[in-house]
């Protein structure tokens, strides 16, 4: 389909088939453990390019530097069809052909990149029920966060990097960088970031001019009238092999500001449709916690 003014309409015939196939999908028996309605993909760092096939399609080098995980073939020219044609991926499960990316993180002192050491993508229900949830349409593009936001991220601020740890600790770090914008983590913690995507879709467009207007957040009561289709919400849980430092860091989206406020993430969703359908049925509709293989391991 041809984009008009930045809108990319969904192929209703293709979407209708995916939806009909989902409605015919039978649920596997539920297990006895876990009540978080989600499935996931665990991805590794793939490559780094100053490209963005969502914001600047067909324009190599037009973007700030991005770190990509998932589909290995992604560059500025990547289309939805390419994601299905070139399916080599750094994600498990391999039936996830999607591309995910974030601005590259750099050490401020050395100006060297710090790449992700773990990148988990959750597909989950954010609500107390799963009423009406259907699979994500293949080809959906979304952005979470604001690449143009440039405000400080001091201790306790929303939208900051945090220290992930096991056991007692301080998610804001035991100390801060000299500019206060970055935590310094104690052992065994390291820098993490989480990005939350919306859970409602307009049912008509795979993208919009600002890459956000075609999706929205719902409530326990349902989705807004302009975005009536409830879909699993993506959550990026990103780990970095860094503890923090006095010099701190900067993002490629804000190399001078050296705060974390411009952190954002892009998702170009493409799955084997049957695999997506079965996971939504087993994990989201049944409100079970599923692993990378798309089932509740305690049910087998």
pLDDT tens per residue, range 36-79: 899 999 999 999 999 999 999 999 999 999 999 999 999 999 99
Distance CA 251, CA 32 (A): 43
Question: Using an 8 Å Cβ cutoff, are 22 and 280 in contact?
Answer: yes
pLDDT tens per residue, range 91-125: 999 999 999 999 999 999 999 999 999 999 999 99
pTM summary value: 0.95
Half-sphere exposure of residue 40: CA atoms within 13 angstroms, side-chain side: 19
Three-state SS at 299? helix
* pLDDT for position 25: 95
* pLDDT for position 298: 59
* pLDDT for position 169: 60
Distance CA 13, CA 228 (A): 18
- Tokens in use for 102? 């974030």
Helix/strand/coil percentages in the chain, nearest 5: 10, 30, 55
Range with the poorest average pLDDT among 164-178, 199-213, 274-288: 164-178
* pLDDT for position 43: 98
Please determine, for residue 296, whether its predicted confidence score (pLDDT) is greater than 80.
Answer: no
Residue 11 confidence class, pLDDT cut points 50, 70, 90: very high
Question: Using an 8 Å Cβ cutoff, are 237 and 120 in contact?
Answer: yes
Q: What are residue 237's DSSP bridge partners?
A: 120, 194
Cα-to-chain-centroid distance, residue 112: 24
Please determine, for residue 300, whether its predicted confidence score (pLDDT) is greater than 80.
Answer: no
Q: Which residue has the tokens 């939504």?
A: 280
Handedness of CA 146, 133, 18, 28 (dihedral sign): positive
Question: Using an 8 Å Cβ cutoff, are 100 and 285 in contact?
Answer: no
By CB neighbour count within 10 A (0-12 exposed, 13-18 middle, 19+ buried), where does 81 fall?
exposed
Q: What is the average per-residue pLDDT within 258-283? A: 97
Please determine, for residue 297, whether its predicted confidence score (pLDDT) is greater than 80.
Answer: no
Q: What is the mean pLDDT of the chain?
A: 94
Percent over 90 (pLDDT), the chain: 87
Residue 28 confidence class, pLDDT cut points 50, 70, 90: confident
């Amino acid at each position: 389909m041809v984009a008009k003014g930045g809108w990319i309409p969904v192929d209703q015939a293709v979407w209708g088939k995916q939806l009909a196939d989902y409605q015919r999908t039978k649920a596997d028996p539920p297990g006895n453990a876990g009540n978080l309605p989600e499935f996931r993909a665990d991805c590794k760092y793939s490559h780094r390019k100053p490209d963005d096939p969502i914001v600047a399609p067909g324009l190599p080098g037009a973007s700030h530097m991005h770190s990509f995980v998932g589909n290995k073939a992604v560059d500025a020219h990547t289309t939805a069809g390419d994601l299905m044609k070139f399916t080599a991926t750094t994600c498990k499960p391999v039936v996830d052909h999607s591309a995910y990316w974030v601005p590259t993180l750099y050490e401020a002192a050395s100006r060297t990149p710090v790449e992700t050491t773990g990148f988990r993508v959750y597909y989950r229900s954010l609500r107390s029920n799963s009423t009406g949830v259907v699979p994500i349409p293949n080809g959906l593009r979304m952005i979470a966060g604001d690449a143009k936001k440039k405000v400080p991220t001091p201790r306790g601020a929303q939208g900051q990097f945090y220290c992930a740890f096991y056991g007692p600790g301080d998610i804001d770090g035991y100390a801060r960088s000299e500019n206060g914008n970055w935590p310094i983590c104690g052992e065994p913690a390291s820098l993490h970031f989480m990005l939350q995507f919306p859970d409602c879709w307009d049912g008509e467009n795979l993208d919009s001019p600002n890459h956000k207007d075609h999706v929205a957040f719902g409530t326990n009561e349902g989705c807004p009238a302009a975005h009536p289709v409830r879909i699993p919400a993506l959550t990026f849980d990103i780990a970095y092999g860094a503890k923090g430092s006095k010099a701190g860091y900067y993002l490629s989206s804000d190399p001078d500001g050296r705060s974390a406020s411009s952190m954002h993430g892009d998702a170009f969703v493409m799955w084997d449709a049957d695999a997506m359908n079965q996971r939504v049925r087993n994990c989201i509709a049944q409100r079970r916690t599923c692993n990378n293989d798309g089932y509740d391991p305690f049910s087998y």
